[in-house]
Amino acid sequence: MDRSPRDELQALRRLGTLEQAEPRKGDEAVRDELTCRAGSYVQTDVDAWLAHALAAHLGHYADRAAREAAAGFLAPPVLAHAALLAALARLTPGAAVDQLALAARLTAADSESVGGLAAFLTRAVTTGSLA
């Protein structure tokens, strides 16, 4: 019996192995379905997983077009979280995901400000003003 992507994602969550999985095309829709089924409850573990995958270009996000398309599918807090993770990774190459857990907490507190912080850090790194 074939399991739906939603069932697979839920099974990975229950097993505690979600962070080891690479995202596939359509996982953004699965995230939305999970959120709708949960009565708009945000799936923080799924959001953090998608943000990390997007920032690190994992799975189908290795393709630039998939990353650009994700911007139209993922919620702004997920995109802000991904942007902050990417900016922090440029500042501290080799940082482990658990070392960047503060990004998820900041995003949960104020995703709009996190987006601005990510843009600021990206500009600073690009122009070399943080070097």
Q: Is the separation of the CB atoms in 27 and 5 below 8 Å?
A: yes
The pLDDT tens digits along the chain (131 residues) read 567 777 787 788 888 888 888 888 877 777 777 766 665 555 788 888 889 899 989 988 999 999 999 888 888 999 999 999 998 888 888 877 677 888 888 888 888 899 899 889 888 888 877 65
Return the pLDDT at 20.
81
Could you give the CA distance from residue 94 to residue 22 in angstroms, rounded to a whole number?
19
Return the pLDDT at 107.
87
User: What is the pTM assigned to this prediction?
Assistant: 0.77
**111-to-21, 61, 86, 87, 105 alpha-carbon distances in Å:** 25, 21, 15, 15, 10
Could you give the CA distance from residue 23 to residue 100 in angstroms, rounded to a whole number?
19
